[in-house]
């Protein structure tokens, strides 16, 4: 938490990677100095969460069928396609918090070649505090007592950490490219935290200024359920899009930075949800998708750059063990209870967004 505080002190959109790395190092080095006095409750807008969680389709499937798909061309014009993905994983609990590792990768395709830049892994220690010593201190220290940190969902802190990191990466990329298509993982939603909103807005501005088109790609969409329904784009041999933006409820649309499409990018490919920067004129939004198809596509219709970015970012078991050794060798953090690596990686929070670490760390006295 203490470090989260420090992190919040940065303008969320501007920390450099060096600063983040420094912060990571510091967060671990200072983990046993429990000095934080303030725990401001993060203003978490539950609306977005709620929105993402709803599995009942907010869109009427019947309606989709009546929408006319837009046929897409494949525009192979050499536009750079740049995908960004980040990953976070709980490495273990300490006496007063949790250690998370984050990693992010940028994969670009330019002149028919793929390149990656990978940042991390960076382990962070986040003080959360739920153990006896902290409770005792809480009893004597009023400032701490005033906030019930123990019951706060660590998911939120994790997500904040990840957002800061991801925003930093996205910003770097947006500044580096002109006339590129930038692929982000997931929907383009408005963040819930004040600073994050500001950061995201400025990030979008930077991208737009350099004529970069932002496309959010969601592997799974909960906008509508396809179960039991026929693929609305069945029968279409060419890649196509359906603009479903108008069918999204007004309250929800308000939270989006993009225009929402259902897309089938290869003839026998899967359906994806694409969010394309709302501020672009429609023709440019469609052109952005066509350039993506033309310059970076796999057979199953999922952008290769983004697939690679996922692969490069995801942690595996060897890396988890390696990071445990790193923490042991450099900070004397011994694992008290051995984690079940499988659970870390494939447990309830699988997909490398585990928020529930199994390892219990202790700093030897």
Partner 1 sequence: MLSLYRIENGEVQIISCPPQGIRKGEYLSIEDTSTEKSLIIQVVEIDYANVPGILEDILRRSSIHKVNGEDYDPLEIKSYIELVKDAKVLRCKIRGALTRGEFTDDISWIPVRSRSRVVGIPDETLLKLINPSRLLPIQIGRTQKKVRVDIDAKAIDGSLNIISGKKGTGKSHLAKTILLGLIDQGGLCLVFDINGEYTKLDYKSSGERNRFQKKMKVLIPGRNFKVDLRYAGLGSILSIMRSVMDTPGTSTWEFRRIWNSLERRDAISIEEIFRSIDNINHEYVREALFRRFQSLVDTGFFCDDPKSNTAFEEIFAEMNMGGAVILNLKDLPSMIRKIVVEFVLSKLSQLLKRNIARAVFLFAEEAHLYLRDTYWEDIVTRMRHLGVFVTFVTNQPETIKQNVFRQSDNIFLFNFTNENDLKAISRASRIDGYTIESITRELPAHHCLMFGKVTRDLPLVVGIGRLDIQTQGETRFFFTPLETTPEGIVDKSTQNNYQTALQLK
Catalog residues that contact partner 1 under the rule CB under 8 A: 17-18, 21, 24-25, 107, 113-123, 308, 311-312, 316-323, 325-326, 329, 341-342, 345
For every residue of 247-311, DSSP letters joined together read GS-HHHHTTBSEEEEEEE-STT--EEEEEEETTS-HHHHHHHHHHHHHHS--TTSS-HHHHHHHH
End-to-end CA, the chain: 23
Long-range contacts of 14-18 (CB under 8 A, 24+ apart): 14/168, 14/171, 15/164, 15/168, 16/168, 17/119, 17/168, 17/172
Q: How far is the CB of 153 from partner 1 (least distance, A)?
A: 27
Complex with partner 1: residue 127 or 305, whichever CB lies closer: 305
Q: How far is the CB of 3 from partner 1 (least distance, A)?
A: 15
Complex with partner 1: residue 167 or 192, whichever CB lies closer: 167
**Cβ 293 vs Cβ 70: under 8 Å:** no
Q: How far is the CB of 114 from partner 1 (least distance, A)?
A: 4
Q: How far is the CB of 121 from partner 1 (least distance, A)?
A: 5
Q: How far is the CB of 363 from partner 1 (least distance, A)?
A: 18
Complex with partner 1: residue 120 or 232, whichever CB lies closer: 120
Query: Which residues, 6 or more positions from 322, have their beta carbon under 8 angstroms from its beta carbon?
Result: none
In angstroms, rounded to a whole number, what is the distance separating the alpha carbons of residues 155 and 327?
22
Q: How far is the CB of 326 from partner 1 (least distance, A)?
A: 4
Complex with partner 1: residue 15 or 121, whichever CB lies closer: 121
Length of the chain: 365
Complex with partner 1: residue 273 or 324, whichever CB lies closer: 324
Q: How far is the CB of 122 from partner 1 (least distance, A)?
A: 7
**Cβ 251 vs Cβ 282: under 8 Å:** no
Alpha carbon dihedral 138, 139, 145, 151, in 10-degree steps, equals 70
In angstroms, rounded to a whole number, what is the distance separating the alpha carbons of residues 169 and 188?
16
Complex with partner 1: residue 211 or 325, whichever CB lies closer: 325
- Which residues make beta-bridge pairs with 83? 107, 183
Complex with partner 1: residue 119 or 187, whichever CB lies closer: 119
């Amino acid at each position: 938490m203490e470090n989260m505080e420090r992190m919040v002190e940065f303008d969320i959109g501007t920390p450099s990677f060096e600063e983040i790395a420094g912060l990571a190092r510091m967060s671990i080095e200072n983990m046993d100095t429990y000095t934080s006095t303030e725990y401001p409750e993060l203003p978490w807008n539950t609306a977005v969460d709620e929105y993402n969680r709803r599995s009942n389709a907010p869109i009427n499937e019947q309606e989709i069928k009546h929408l006319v798909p837009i046929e897409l061309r494949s525009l192979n014009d050499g536009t750079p396609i740049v995908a960004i993905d980040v990953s976070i994983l709980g490495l273990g609990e300490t006496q007063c918090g949790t250690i998370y590792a984050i990693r992010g990768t940028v994969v670009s395709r330019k002149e028919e070649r793929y390149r990656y830049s990978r940042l991390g892994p960076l382990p962070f220690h986040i003080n959360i505090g739920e153990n006896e010593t902290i409770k005792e201190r809480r009893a004597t220290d009023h400032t701490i007592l005033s906030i019930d940190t123990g019951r706060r969902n660590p998911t939120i802190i994790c997500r904040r950490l990840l957002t800061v990191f991801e925003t930093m990466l996205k910003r770097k990329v947006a500044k580096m490219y002109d006339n590129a298509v930038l692929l982000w993982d997931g929907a383009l939603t408005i963040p819930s935290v004040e600073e994050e909103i500001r950061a995201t807005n400025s990030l979008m501005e930077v991208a737009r200024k350099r004529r970069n088109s932002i496309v959010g790609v969601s592997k799974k969409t909960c906008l509508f359920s396809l179960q039991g329904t026929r693929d609305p784009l069945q029968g279409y041999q060419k890649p196509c899009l359906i603009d479903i933006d108008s069918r999204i409820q007004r309250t929800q649309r308000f939270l989006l930075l993009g225009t929402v499409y259902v897309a089938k990018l290869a003839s026998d490919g899967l359906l994806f949800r694409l969010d394309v920067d709302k501020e672009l004129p429609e023709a440019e939004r469609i052109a952005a998708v066509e350039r993506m198809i033309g310059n970076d596509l796999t057979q199953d219709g999922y952008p290769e750059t983004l697939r690679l970015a996922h692969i490069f970012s995801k942690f595996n078991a060897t890396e988890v063990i390696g990071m445990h050794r790193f923490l042991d060798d450099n900070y004397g953090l011994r694992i008290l209870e051995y984690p079940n690596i499988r659970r870390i990686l494939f447990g309830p929070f699988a997909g490398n967004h585990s928020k529930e670490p199994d390892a219990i760390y202790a700093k030897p006295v």
